[in-house]
Amino acid sequence: MPRFELKKPYEVEKLFFYLVSNMTGLFTFNKLAHLVDLSDKTVRDYISFFEDAFLLYTVDRFDFSVKKLRGPKKIYCVDNGLSASVAFSFSENRGRYLENMVFGTLVRNEQNIFYYKTKTGLEVDFFCPGIGGRGQLLQVCADLQDEKIRKREIRALCMAADELDLEGGTIVTMDEEEEIMEQGKAIKIIPAWKYFSIPGF
């Protein structure tokens, strides 16, 4: 960091620490600026530096209107090992690490990556326009054993697929596998080992 001649190295370190600790989470530049006591412009500049150095990546919410891409962004880390060594956490965060790994695969496959939020506020982790023709929806969840979580994840995919006029979507889990039809949409539940072994999935 010294080569950047930082005026507030502690604040920039705090910014990086916060982002890595909240990997896969949503953020706004304004909120971060208040959190680390830096200006909005400075926060934007340093996040851009982190991205240029391939340490962190930001993902926009998908919208057909480019003007609406100014909302909250999601943050991802170049490597789970970096996140695990830097971030402070009381839990395993398997879901976050799995989502970050799926993101890394999408990056390596050179996909355009967004997250999607339905009109009712349900979130789908990834929407990649153009995969397999019209686009692909991907949800990531460590496991679907909890019925409430299962219903929530499937409902979000179905609603997003309906709004985007897609046939369905995929849920990547740790080890579950199933194919179901829900609300007229084809939902494929696939274990991580299989997802990562399929080139260009």
Kindly write down the DSSP assignment for every residue of 28-81, as one continuous string.
Answer: -HHHHHHHHT--HHHHHHHHHHHHHTTSEEEEEEP-SSGGGTTS-EEEEES-HH
pLDDT of residue 3: 46
| Full-model pTM | 0.88
Range of the domain at 169: 93-201
Is the distance from CB of 149 to CB of 110 less than 8 angstroms?
Answer: no
Q: In what order do the strands lie in the sheet with 168-173?
A: 26-27, 73-77, 56-61, 114-117, 123-128, 136-140, 168-173, 185-191, 178-182
- pLDDT tens figures, 61-119: 998 775 555 679 999 998 776 666 655 554 567 889 999 999 999 998 888 999 999 99
Whether 46 and 58 map to the same domain: the answer is yes
Whether 98 and 51 map to the same domain: the answer is no
104 is written with which tokens? 């890394």
Percent of the chain scoring above 70 in pLDDT: 85
Whether 67 and 149 map to the same domain: the answer is no
Whether 114 and 47 map to the same domain: the answer is no
Residue type, 76: Y
Beta-bridged to residue 2, according to DSSP, are: none
Tokens 């789908």 belong to which residue? 124
**Four-residue CA torsion sign, 88, 91, 96, 97:** positive
126 is written with which tokens? 């990834």
Query: pLDDT band at residue 37, thresholds of 50, 70 and 90?
Result: confident
CA atoms of 176 and 44, how far apart (whole Å): 39
Query: Which one is predicted more confidently, 94 or 52?
Result: 52
Whether 29 and 107 map to the same domain: the answer is no
Is the distance from CB of 168 to CB of 187 less than 8 angstroms?
Answer: yes
Mean pLDDT of 159-164: 95
Distance, CA of 93 to chain centre: 14
Tokens 């997250």 belong to which residue? 115
What CATH code is carried by the domain that includes residue 33? 1.10.10.10
Whether 163 and 84 map to the same domain: the answer is no
Please state the domain count of the chain.
2
